């Protein structure tokens, strides 16, 4: 499929041109703030409801031997998808092609979508693998590649296991873990943030839509961030740091969505991110535990890496190449020269 032309991809034509192969095309020249507000309210409300038991408990995410600190964060990841589906099925949305509307199906063009998905999946894993070494190189963290003391602490007493083997098995198996365990919860988030919300904010322009959707995504993490997740902070500072990270990461995941018109590259990249985030802990020095703000997978070095990636993509014009989003009409065929009169026989 040829690339779509650069310009206002959300402007819908009128008249006969406003009907595409999938039926009537909704007007995307402005943001429908009503559905957006309802989506945000449901996603935020469900998020707090899911995490409320840990806030009411005494130990939060540090509850030892309990299943809630494991199960509830996973359930939290499904709340954006639930919000998107509620809005999709109850408010004025396209009636027949909801999978296309959310970027789930079809994959068009499929070769580009599959290629970008694979590159995003592997690239995210490699980035998270390289990050501890890059962070150590600038003196922000101390690694223990001799005794693997941080990994050793994860081995139950009396269990005969080499800490180095444990660390590298988990790091190298992260892509498999992403595919088997984390992919479905990641889909739960991405259906909401990049599948539904980002295209609805796209009329604001590419960068305003990416930044705003990323900020909304970041604040949505508050129920778990306020329990110390990612930064070890239990106040609004953690929410602010997470919002910065989500704006940057959300811009990259959003680029994948806009570039292909599909949500799947963002889903696989998100799953790879979550599965690989523990590399720093596995390689760290127990005597000098990492400062998660300065060295964690959602900390300052990751911000810098994401900023560089986004700058390179912007400088090479990649943000100007957008796939076919749901509701985005095909480019009109430019009028050609008048047809010559048929010769008289």
Q: What is the pLDDT of residue 91?
A: 80
CA-to-CA dists, residue 234 to 37, 222, 230, 246, 296, angstroms: 27, 10, 11, 18, 16
Helix pair angle (33-56, 79-90), 10° resolution: 150
Round to whole Å and give the CA distance between 84 and 189: 10
Coil, strand or helix: which one is 9? coil
Coil, strand or helix: which one is 24? strand
Give the model confidence (pLDDT) of 284-339 as tens digits.
999 999 899 998 999 999 999 999 999 999 999 988 877 666 444 444 445 544 44
Give the model confidence (pLDDT) of 213-245 as tens digits.
999 999 999 999 999 999 999 999 999 999 999
Largest CA distance in the chain: 98
Please provide the average confidence, as pLDDT, over all residues in the chain: 84
Phi then psi for residue 299, to 5 deg, are -95, -165
Which is higher by pLDDT, 324 or 69?
69
Task: Give the contacts of 179 (CB within 8 A, at least 6 positions apart).
Answer: 271
Task: Report CA dihedral (88, 94, 99, 100) to the nearest 10 degrees.
Answer: -130
Round to whole Å and give the CA distance between 229 and 231: 6
Q: What is the pLDDT of residue 64?
A: 57
Tokens of 297: 């997978």
Q: What is the pLDDT of residue 333?
A: 45
């Amino acid at each position: 499929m040829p690339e779509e032309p650069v310009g206002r991809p959300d402007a819908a034509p009128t008249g006969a041109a406003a009907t595409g192969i999938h039926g009537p095309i909704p007007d995307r020249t402005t943001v429908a703030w009503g559905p957006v507000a309802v989506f945000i309210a449901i996603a935020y409300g469900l998020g707090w409801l899911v995490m409320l038991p840990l806030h009411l408990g005494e130990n939060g995410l540090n509850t030892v031997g309990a299943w809630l600190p494991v199960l509830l964060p996973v359930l939290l990841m499904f709340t954006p998808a639930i919000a998107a589906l509620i809005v999709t099925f109850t408010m004025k949305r396209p009636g027949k092609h909801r999978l296309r509307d959310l970027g789930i199906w079809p994959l068009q063009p499929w070769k580009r979508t599959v290629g970008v998905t694979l590159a995003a999946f592997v690239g995210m894993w490699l980035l998270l693998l390289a990050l501890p070494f890059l962070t150590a190189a600038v003196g922000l963290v101390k690694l223990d590649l001799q005794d693997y003391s941080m990994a050793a602490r994860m081995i139950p007493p009396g269990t005969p296991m080499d800490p180095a083997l444990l660390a590298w098995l988990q790091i190298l198996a992260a892509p498999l873990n992403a595919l088997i365990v984390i992919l479905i919860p990641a889909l739960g988030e991405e259906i909401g943030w990049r599948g539904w919300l980002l295209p609805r904010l796209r009329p604001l322009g590419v960068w305003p839509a990416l930044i705003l959707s990323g900020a909304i995504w970041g604040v949505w993490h508050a129920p778990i961030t306020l329990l110390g997740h990612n930064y070890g902070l239990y106040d609004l500072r953690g929410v602010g740091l997470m919002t910065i990270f989500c704006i940057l990461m959300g811009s990259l995941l959003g680029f994948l969505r806009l570039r292909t018109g599909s949500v799947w590259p963002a889903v696989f990249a998100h799953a790879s991110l979550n599965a690989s985030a523990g590399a720093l802990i596995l390689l760290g020095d127990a005597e000098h535990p990492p400062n998660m703000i300065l060295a964690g997978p959602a900390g300052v070095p990751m911000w810098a890496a994401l900023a560089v990636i986004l700058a390179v993509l912007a400088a090479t014009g990649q943000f100007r190449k957008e796939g076919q989003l749901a509701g985005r009409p095909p480019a009109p065929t430019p009028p050609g020269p008048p047809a010559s009169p048929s010769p008289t026989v």
